[in-house]
A and B are shown apart, each in its own frame.
Chain A
Amino acid sequence: MKNRMSKLIALLAVSAMVMGTLAGCGSTEEAAPVEETVVEETAPAEAAPEEAAPAEEVAPAEETADLSGSISMAGSTSMEKLATALSEVFMAKYPGVTVTAEFTGSSAGIESLAAGSVDIGNSSRALKDSEKEAGAVENIVAIDGIAVVVDPANAVAGLTKDQLIGIYKGEIKNWSEVGGTDAPIVVVGREAGSGTRGAFEELLEVEDACAYANELDSTGAVMAKVASTPGAIGYVSLDVVDETVIAVALDEVAPTEENIKAGSYFLSRPFVMATKGEVAEQSEAVQGLFEFLASDEGKELIKSVGLITVE
């Protein structure tokens, strides 16, 4: 009898161990896919904080009006961040509205608008006359500004557009050539695919012609490198500039929000959400979208993706 009892206990012990091992296997099995998703999520790391911000606003925004319908957008890839954030927040605020956004490029977006296949054509440049003739109306919703920054000890106060192009193409290699001290220029930029790099090169018309000495993969890294390296020059989104670097004047115009809104600072571009005919002629949903962009909540959203609002 006693023997039987101890046998039973032993069997229980063995089965507990087996269960334990099985549980161990189970958890390793689960661990693998979890890690995978983490990797995928961290990949667009930089987009995360900006997207997180509008997501927070979603919660209190549920006292909704009764808009319904669908809005389709197409156009600029540079406006992807803004358009995605906007559609997410807008759809959360008005659950009856479906917003779809495609990113095909500014010109293609306006073409689709003219053809009537979308409600809004996104363009990261001012509309051309030909496009306006085709019926597109330019609604500037935000402005994208880029600051050129140098290390705090740099004596150069301003650069002209040609000097900036020369520096980034690698033709100007010493600060003495642009009125500074005799020190080499360390050209810092962003990695291929970055929106800031795309905008910078597009505005200066130096696409794929830049000679970077450092290609860093985040705005923070560019700021840190420029701040700590004598003779460094870099570009960042205007809203992150702080006292660790100097933002230089371009063509004698200081990089301030006022100058950008006035249009005198050349490293900036309008983000246009063009409509076919005036906004007032559009569907209620589209009108609601523009009203939302003009509201305080919409302005917050625009700022949260690093852009400047239009007043």
Chain B
Amino acid sequence: MTNNKANTFSIIGSLKTKSKVEKSAQVVFTTCAFFAVLAVFSITIYMILNGAPALSKVGIGDILFGTVWKPTASEPSYGILYVILTSIIGTFLSILVGVPIGLFTAIFLAEVAPRKLAGIVKPAVELLAGIPSVIYGLLGLLLLNPVMYKWELLIFKNDPDHQFTGGANLISAVIVLAIMILPTVINISESAIKAVPKHLKEASLALGGSHIQTIFKVMIPAAKSGIVTAIVLGVGRAIGEAMAISLVSGSSVNVPLPFNSVRFLTTAIVSEMGYASDLHREVLFTIGLVLFLFIMIINLLLTKVLKKGENENDK
């Protein structure tokens, strides 16, 4: 509005009105910014206040390094080591599966694909990002688990010690997570590859490098920081996911082996919060705190990587 009229007059008629406008605008923006900061701080403080007491009541070692999770037993035990390990290993494996697929799709989209084909694949990838996580979980439950159960029956046919899970296991969860991080990895790596200065590619091709050589030896190294960002964001998405994996992972606390029923940090909170009381509830908040710290570490890592990338580009 003011822009349209800027040609004919100035709202800054005098020094007095100028300082008023400036000051009020500053107050408005500061207040708005304050709310975002307030939210972060109150969540952090809330998590620490609620999560920390159980650590001292049960003992830090007993919670973080205990392996027995029996919160409702007459002598309760609150060890979440397997839960933490499951989250770490599950996230790591899903990155191991998801990142190569995502990265190669990004290369395909940015470099290899004919324009028309890219026009089909790109919206499909974007659609994948929009599918709610519970749908991933349902599909995993209905399609993936039966297949896994067949494999399980085949592999553990003569193993009397194996506890059959009906296909709800770590692999199912990893596959679902790997699919869920694909859109993040693809979109960010694609823009990173596209942002590589054209002269680098042209120089490589002019020196006689093939297209594929150029991609792997020039473009990917040049887009490294963007790709690392994609991976870190993927880790963030995978570690924070709850709904989808609570349906496919079986949710029993076990050592995170491929065919075991496992429980993640997120699903541990989701599945027991409903009926938990007293110390049990407090320990669930502690699990939340552990998860919160993990995500904080990932975010700090991300900012560091991004800063490093900026510095490199400046040179």
Contact = CB atoms under 8 A, between A and B. Distances in A.
B32 A25 contact: yes
Nearest to A29: B35
Contact of A25 (B31, B146, B247): B31
Interface in A167-201: 170, 173, 184-188, 191-195, 198
B255 to A, nearest CB: 13
Nearest to A201: B72
B21 A14 contact: yes
Interface in B246-275: 246-247, 250-253, 261, 263, 270-275
Interface residues of A, number: 52
Contact of B5 (A6, A186, A191, A212): A6
Contacts of B167: 229
Contacts of A3: 9
A214 B276 CA distance: 19
A47 B13 CA distance: 64
Given A13-B2, A228-B146, A217 B73 contact: no
B166 A213 contact: yes
B8 interface: yes
B28 A214 contact: no
Given A25-B35, A214-B252, A193 B165 contact: no
Given A193-B280, A229-B167, A10 B251 contact: no
A194 to B, nearest CB: 6
B71 to A, nearest CB: 5
Contact of A193 (B39, B71, B142, B250): B71
Contacts of B31: 22, 25
B74 A208 contact: yes
A14 to B, nearest CB: 7
B10 to A, nearest CB: 9
B104 to A, nearest CB: 34
Contact of A192 (B9, B156, B272): B272
A32 interface: yes
Contacts of A217: 246, 251, 270-272, 274
A80 B198 CA distance: 69
Contacts of B71: 192-193
Given A187-B163, A195-B275, A11 B28 contact: no
B154 to A, nearest CB: 12
Contacts of A215: 250-253, 261, 263, 271
A130 interface: no
A188 B271 CA distance: 14
B1 interface: yes
A155 interface: no
A207 B246 CA distance: 24
Contacts of A188: 166
A187 B69 CA distance: 18
Contacts of A43: 273-274
Interface string A234-271: 00000000000000000000000000000000000000
B272 A191 contact: yes
Contacts of B149: 229-230
B57 interface: no
Contacts of A10: 1-2, 5, 9, 11
A225 B246 contact: no
B287 to A, nearest CB: 13
Nearest to B138: A224
A18 B24 contact: yes
A207 B5 contact: no
A231 interface: yes
19 contacts: A7-B13, A25-B32, A28-B32, A46-B274, A170-B163, A173-B160, A184-B153, A186-B166, A191-B274, A191-B275, A192-B72, A192-B280, A193-B277, A208-B70, A208-B74, A211-B163, A217-B246, A225-B166, A228-B146
Nearest 6 pairs of A and B residues by beta carbon: A193-B275, A229-B166, A184-B164, A217-B271, A208-B73, A186-B166
